[in-house]
Amino acid sequence: MADLKDKVAVVTGGGGVLCGAFAKELGRHGIKVAILDLKKEAAEVVAKEINEAGGTAIGVECNVLVKESVEAAEREVAEKLGDCDILINGAGGNHPKGTTSKDYLEVEDIMNPNSDIKTFFDLDEEGIQFVFNLNFIGTLIPSQVFSKKMVNKEGTAILNVSSMNAFSPLTRIPAYSGAKAAVSNFTQWLAVHMSKVGIRVNAIAPGFFLTQQNYRLLLDENDQPTPRCEKILSQTPMDRLGKPEELFGTLMWLIDDKASGFVTGITVPVDGGFSAYSGV
């Protein structure tokens, strides 16, 4: 492992469960961490935990869809911690307006419309655009802004957060699946584009982990698996949900130039075997 102490890492979406856990792990290794989030209070909660544990971190308000906001965040990070060495693009998410109610379209859904059932034909264009922009444009803009000072700087890396949806789309969530597929494709493109200036670009694709967004999708009011969760578990050979700390090994490997210096342009699934299982 390289000595990553005093490197500067920027984590977008760092106020959330998974990226907040990423930020704390980076801080544990002596990396100075800037937690960027649309909700500054959420970012500051994570930063406080890192600082209280003996690390160095700041919480920064940032809208990853507005370039001026990202540029302002970059200036604040540079002033308080230094120029970025490691960028983790974790901002993302889904939206109900980009989601269907059922796995499959059935004839009766068209012949006898039900206001409680949202079919493919009812998907909201603005909802689709929001999800796509949040995940893809929200990865592209921070990459543009923070990578400028990473050019020809030793030990720099960009790590994008993709999803199992990028390998094979899940039912009901076409917007999120398409957006994460774009993130994986962009990871490959950017890795090639940056290959001559010393910036490695990779992605991590988590399987199914409990987060604030999906908690009630996966667990019911009694914290028991929902039918959707049971279906997921039936397709996950390890037969359980992942724990955030089980992503740390892949995280640290991909940002460490000594451990993965010849690795760029890949998306690593951390999914309990989900992507390997055919269902038979």
Percent of the chain residues topping a pLDDT of 70: 100
Query: Is 1's pLDDT higher than 80?
Result: no
pLDDT at 38: 97
Query: Is 3's pLDDT higher than 90?
Result: no
Q: Which of left, alpha, beta for 42 (phi over 0: left; psi -120 to 50: alpha)?
A: alpha
Query: Is 212's pLDDT higher than 80?
Result: no
Query: Is 213's pLDDT higher than 80?
Result: no
Bridge partner residues of 270 (DSSP): 206
Cβ atoms of 150 and 171 within 8 Å: the answer is no
Mean pLDDT of the chain: 95
Mean pLDDT, rounded, for 197-217: 89
Task: List pLDDT tens digits, range 137-181.
Answer: 999 999 999 999 999 999 999 999 999 999 999 999 999 999 999
Q: Which residues are catalytic?
A: 176
pLDDT at 147: 98
Q: Let me know how long the chain is.
A: 280
Percent of the chain residues topping a pLDDT of 90: 89
pLDDT at 211: 80
CA distance linking residue 129 with residue 107, whole number of Å: 27
Query: Is 115's pLDDT higher than 90?
Result: no
Task: List pLDDT tens digits, range 215-251.
Answer: 788 888 888 899 989 999 999 999 999 999 999 999 9
pLDDT at 135: 97
Query: Is 214's pLDDT higher than 90?
Result: no
pTM given for the model? 0.94
CA distance linking residue 107 with residue 121, whole number of Å: 13
N-to-C CA span, the chain: 39
Domains annotated on the chain, with CATH = 8-276 (3.40.50.720)
